[in-house]
């Protein structure tokens, strides 16, 4: 009986450790995807070579820069 309880306890601890490791890796992957998937730049529709980190006006023609997701 004691041997069965020891085995059950060891299995429960192993299952908890495996699930904790899995959940930690999922959170890590999720944050990497969010960081790489949402790079926003602003570009001129007339001059696509103009890229800026924030909104504003095109330095070549003065048009409003529009948001682009990369």
The 10s digit of each residue's pLDDT in 45-66 is: 999 999 999 999 999 999 999 9
Integer Cα distance of 62 and 54 in angstroms: 15
User: Sign of dihedral through CA atoms 11, 14, 16, 22?
Assistant: negative
End-to-end Cα spacing for the chain:
61
Same domain, 30 and 3: yes
Residue 70 reports pLDDT greater than 90 = no
Q: Considering the entire predicted model, what is its pTM?
A: 0.45
Distance from C-alpha of 54 to C-alpha of 48, rounded to nearest angstrom: 15
- Domain range enclosing 23: 1-37
Strands 40-43 and 66-69: antiparallel
Same domain, 33 and 4: yes
Looking at the fold, whether 50 and 33 belong to one and the same domain comes out as no
Same domain, 61 and 50: yes
Q: Do the Cβ atoms of 50 and 44 come closer than 8 Å?
A: yes
Q: Given this model, what pLDDT does residue 39 score? A: 83
């Amino acid at each position: 009986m004691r041997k069965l309880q020891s085995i059950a306890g060891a299995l429960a601890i192993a299952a908890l450790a495996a699930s904790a490791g899995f959940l930690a890796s999922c959170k890590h992957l999720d944050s990497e995807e969010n960081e790489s998937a949402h790079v926003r730049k602003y570009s001129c529709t007339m001059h696509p070579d103009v890229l800026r980190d924030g909104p504003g006006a095109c330095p070549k023609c003065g048009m409003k820069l529009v948001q682009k997701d990369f």
